[in-house]
Structure 1
Amino acid sequence: MKVEVRDKEKEKERLKISYILNLLGFLGFTGGLHRLYNGKIATGLLWMFTLGLFGLGQFVDLFLIPNMVEEREIKLRLKAGLSPFGVGESYQAVASEIYHSPQETLMIELLKAAERRGGKLSVTQGVIETGATFSQVETTLKEMYKSGYVDIGNSPENGAVTYIFHELT
């Protein structure tokens, strides 16, 4: 609410100054100052060198000044990083860290465990190494098998199902 009131006061002040500068053009002083003040450089210079388009432009501008002032205020707000309504622009948040799902984290832990064990890992060994549940480890290892990261075999010592990481053997 305060921002809106302050902006309206600035706009009224700019409007008042613009009309005063236009009046100076009617009195024979340099015409076009009101246009320069409102950011209309090219037409402001044209008005200045032609004495307000021979007075006709100065007269027409009496009706156009409110729009000139409004356009200038909008441009100034945009330049200041505000929306045309005086509200700050919203920015999208960007994640500073990559989110790893629990399953991805478990996969990494299982890979490290398999590396320590010569590229072979059973479900029980995975549970001991990671602290995850049997079903979590088994599901993750099966998912890795479906993706082609591991093969399934049996341990020659005890016949337990063993997951073989060929890249680590």
Structure 2
Amino acid sequence: MARAKTETAYMLWTLGFLGICGLHRFYTGQVVLGIVYLCTFGLFGFGQLIDLVLVPGMVKNRNDYLRRQYLTEWGEEGLVMPVPMERNLVAAQGVAQLQTDSMQQLLRVAYANGGKLSKAQVALHTGLSTDRVDALIHEALRCGYADVTNDPDSGAVRYVFDL
């Protein structure tokens, strides 16, 4: 069920002026009291007037109940959704493995070159495309594996790896 709204509950409450009392109670999940209100014209009008103040709390309680109900369907690992058996998930694992292998390759090249590399050196030693080299270096910077410096002689950008 979707979230209960206070405005909708008040609209159902106003139907009490037409003699149809208690619909707001049904809406907020209080079926037994809804039947009592419907049969007694809102507890002879007094209950209907009291509910004018209680409607926001009833809606909040209903939404809390619905939230708890849906959260119990979630396990500790999140919402459990069935995966079709014919689906092949190896491709996603291959991409993650490729990224790990590329990072390992970058770190090995950095270690072999004393921890200082340019983008051109990374592309030359790893054989990766320039776009992939850029992404890999940005990932290394983001993870804290490398820092950006400038070569004191030429001013070229160098990536210093802490190995």
Q: TM-score, with normalisation over the residues of structure 2?
A: 0.42
- Structure showing greater radius of gyration is 1
Q: TM-score, with normalisation over the residues of structure 1?
A: 0.41
